A and B are shown apart, each in its own frame.
Chain A
Amino acid sequence: MKTYSYYKIIIIGIFLFLSACTPVKPWQRGNLASPQMALETDFQEAGLRQHTFSSKESATGGYGGAGGGCGCN
């Protein structure tokens, strides 16, 4: 039942994703180019936060990238 719910979420997500896209010409991308619109605005801090949370919580992944493991307490 739980797996079925996840599939529903994925299908709804893909549908929303595809229906939301509109053509954007290069000269219309000025807003998207502002630094605060980057998906990752601070790589070092993002890496540190992911490292910290993954050493205190079970969940990890999604963001990709590789890094050394640790014997974190």
Chain B
Amino acid sequence: MTQLLIPMLEGTLISLKIFFFTLLFALPLGLLVAQAKKSKFWIVRKIVNIYIMIMRGTPLILQLIFVYFAPFYIFNTSLDRMNAAIVAYVINYAAYFAEIYRGGIQSIDKGQYEAGKVLGFTKAHTFFHVVLPQVIKEIIPAMGNEVITLVKDTALAQTIGVAEVFRVAKTASARDFSTMPLFIAGVFYFIMNGVVSKVFERIEKKLSYYD
């Protein structure tokens, strides 16, 4: 049993690495994309719209394959498996995050920007110190959903040969002729998402300063 658990824990670390790097890059990138979507320049808006359409309109598994294999045909070189996986997850999740941010930003009344202007704040100051804190509060439930999905989506990285926990479970079950490792992997995901849910619950509580 320990012989099975150690490789599975190693696989879990790989899954967690994908998870954390994706959040680290996709959260700020998503905000940037959400801003670019309201850009003054139509060309920027157009590009961002096409990007979001492609990211949300095609399967993540295909995007993984594309990010990993396509650079070879275009630039004659390719990324390391892990980096390719992280890039694919980041650009995919940034698109979803951008739409969540946009929803949050639109829910803020125009009057607040006007109030900021009257008070002599710069646009950036109004956005980061007045609008964004309210946006974050607003989007926490939707973000929680996406982040939980991300935990489970890390299993797709095996398509490009990344040995994350589900892949480890699959090879173990092929060796032992048993589905037990797959169920253990299920428990691992369940625990990881238990932690994610708890964290979001805490954040929500902390942000509910008006209730």
A pairs with B? no
